[in-house]
Amino acid sequence: MFRGLSMPLSPRAGPPGLPTRRAALALLEAVLGRHRPLEEALDALPAGLDPRDRAAAHRIASAVLRRLGSLDAVVEPFLRREPPAAVRHALRIGAAELLLLGTPAHAAVASAVALVPRPFAGLVNAVLRRIAEQGPAALEGLDAERLDTPPWLWSAWHAAYGPEVARAIAAAHRVPAPLDLTPARPDAAPPEGAEVLPTGTWRLPPGTRATELPGFAEGAFWVQDAAAALPARLLAPRPGERVADLCAAPGGKTAQLAAAGAAVTAVERDPRRAARLRENLARLRLPAEVVEADATRWGEDGAFDAVLLDAPCTATGTIRRHPDVAHLKRPRDVASAAEAQARLLANAARLVRPGGRLVFATCSLQPEEGEAHLEGAVALGLRLDPVRAGEVPGLAEAVTPGGWLRTRPDLWAARGGLDGFFVARFARPPGPG
Ligand SMILES: C[S@@+](CC[C@H](N)C(=O)[O-])C[C@H]1O[C@@H](n2cnc3c(N)ncnc32)[C@H](O)[C@@H]1O
């Protein structure tokens, strides 16, 4: 007997909330079927879609992508053969709503049924009713960390960090990330309800909308994960210094450097992203020269006191914020990102004046995109300038014995975690060479 269902089920009736679920289905088809980033899929939703439906669809699709393996494991025993992709996605949406999002059972089942072609309505109805009967207990006993992590990432994190940390990273990905803000002025008052982290980031609960907070329009802060704020902090720009920010859009680090009073040149290759960087700087009322150029080639030898290279990467350190990344990236992407990073690093090293400094950062958990570049940097004539624990208050465990920084999503777990970043600081020795 299905207790949650209080009204007769008419699969074709078009239950309330159907536009939300149709949009969620479109998002899943884009990410899992066509390998498009979730942000791009959100932009491609119909312009007329109610913003609340858009936000709810985003929430549902994110929950499915976060817990894909677990949801499939719950559905699996009820399937005799693989259904068409849209039916599989409708089952995932229904299961996520029933087991993770607290949607009333009749609404979750009726809307998932309405998503699929008529011949599959009975199957979706029957499977989701059975799952609704089990309730959240359906997820108990599953090895969620393992199921929800693509096998190649699971193996790579095991190899890099060991079994315990790999499992802790995967567990951190289950939870939506908080909203982190970097204040434009360190002495500014944080918004009501914000926690001020030891590194100065303002942290608000997951789901908080930055644009609705007081001070947004006035440029009092910008959105930036607490770990993403560390590379510019470690470069420690001084007022008037010439600083190049390579690979700069959307500009979180450019803004930090400019707010510290440096004369910043921000280099970004993608014209649309460069336009967004300019818009962000305008909102924040912070000055920087924005150059549209390829940072593997741009710039004069020794022209800068300091260079920040926040290189493009697979972004596996941001999976808790962007759960689509886990399903979009492949091992070959790590190799090609690492190769591009090496070329960027070589050019970045050339731009630093003798006696100047360089910070290299990526938001990847893969050592090929972090630690593996240390040797190459030394071969370029750079010297590692070790990070001291006092420079990253409260995060001593992220400072490695070698002197670089390795943040992970499982650090600061009680506070809501951190994105995964690799950050290394180098000095270019003074004098010839
Ligand atoms: C990790 S994001 C940078 C985030 C940025 N530093 C921030 O803090 O907001 C990488 C950026 O590098 C840009 N990019 C990739 N390859 C580039 C290249 N060869 N030259 C310049 N920019 C590049 C991408 O378009 C993207 O905007």
Domains of the chain (ranges, CATH numbers) = 18-142 (1.10.940.10), 179-427 (3.40.50.150)
- Using an 8 Å Cβ cutoff, are 138 and 72 in contact? no
Whole-number average pLDDT of the chain: 95
Query: How many of the other CB atoms lie within 10 Å of CB of 85?
Result: 13
pLDDT at 432: 57
Helix 51-66 crosses helix 18-28 at what angle (to 10 degrees)? 50
φ, ψ (nearest 5 deg) of residue 422: -110, 130
Annotated binding site for S-adenosyl-L-methionine: 247-253, 268, 294, 310
Helix ranges, 148-270 (H): 151-161, 163-172, 230-235, 252-259
> How far does the centroid of ligand 1 lie from the alpha carbon of residue 348, in Å?
13
pLDDT at 355: 98
Query: How many of the other CB atoms lie within 10 Å of CB of 199?
Result: 18
Listing DSSP states for 357-370 in one string gives EEEEEE----GGGT
Q: Which helix (H) or strand (E) holds 43?
A: helix 38-43
- Measured from the Cα of 296, ligand 1's closest atom is 19
Q: Is 248 in the pocket of ligand 1 (CB under 6 A)?
A: yes
Band (14; pLDDT cuts 50, 70, 90): confident
Q: Is 21 in the pocket of ligand 1 (CB under 6 A)?
A: no
Q: Is 273 in the pocket of ligand 1 (CB under 6 A)?
A: yes
Q: Is 343 in the pocket of ligand 1 (CB under 6 A)?
A: no
pLDDT tens figures, 59-110: 999 999 999 999 999 999 999 999 999 999 999 999 999 999 999 999 999 9
Longest Cα–Cα distance of the chain, Å, equals 82
pLDDT at 6: 35
pLDDT at 4: 35
Annotated binding site: 247-253, 268, 294, 310
pLDDT tens figures, 328-384: 999 999 999 999 999 999 999 999 999 999 999 999 999 999 999 999 999 999 999
- Using an 8 Å Cβ cutoff, are 410 and 366 in contact? no
- Using an 8 Å Cβ cutoff, are 128 and 98 in contact? yes
Structure tokens at 363: 């938001």
Q: Is 419 in the pocket of ligand 1 (CB under 6 A)?
A: no
- Using an 8 Å Cβ cutoff, are 258 and 355 in contact? no
Only one residue has tokens 């100047």, namely 356
pLDDT score of 420 more than 90: yes
pLDDT score of 12 more than 70: no
Percent of the chain with pLDDT over 90: 95
Distance between CA 61 and CA 29 in Å, rounded? 10
Band (15; pLDDT cuts 50, 70, 90): confident
pLDDT tens figures, 250-306: 999 999 999 999 999 999 999 999 999 999 999 999 999 999 999 999 999 999 999
pLDDT at 411: 98
Q: Which amino acid is at 211?
A: T
416 CB contacts (<8 Å, ≥6 apart)? 175, 177, 178, 203, 206
| pLDDT, mean of residues 122-151 | 97
From residue 125, alpha-carbon distances to 90, 97, 267 in Å are 10, 14, 53
Q: Which helix (H) or strand (E) holds 268?
A: strand 263-268
DSSP state, 399? B
Listing DSSP states for 205-231 in one string gives -TT--GGGSTTTTTTSEEE--TTTTHH
Residue 293 burial class via C-beta count within 10 angstroms: exposed 0-12, middle 13-18, buried 19 and up:
middle
pLDDT tens figures, 203-223: 999 999 999 999 999 999 999
Hey, which of 269, 341, 343 would you mutate to test ligand 1's pocket, going by the most ligand atoms within 8 Å of its Cβ? 269
Band (196; pLDDT cuts 50, 70, 90): very high
> How far does the centroid of ligand 1 lie from the alpha carbon of residue 258, in Å?
17
Distance between CA 213 and CA 216 in Å, rounded? 6
> How far does the centroid of ligand 1 lie from the alpha carbon of residue 268, in Å?
6
- Which of the residues are catalytic? 363
pLDDT score of 8 more than 50: no
Structure tokens at 298: 């741009």
Is the backbone peptide bond immediately before 250 cis, with ω within 30 degrees of 0? yes
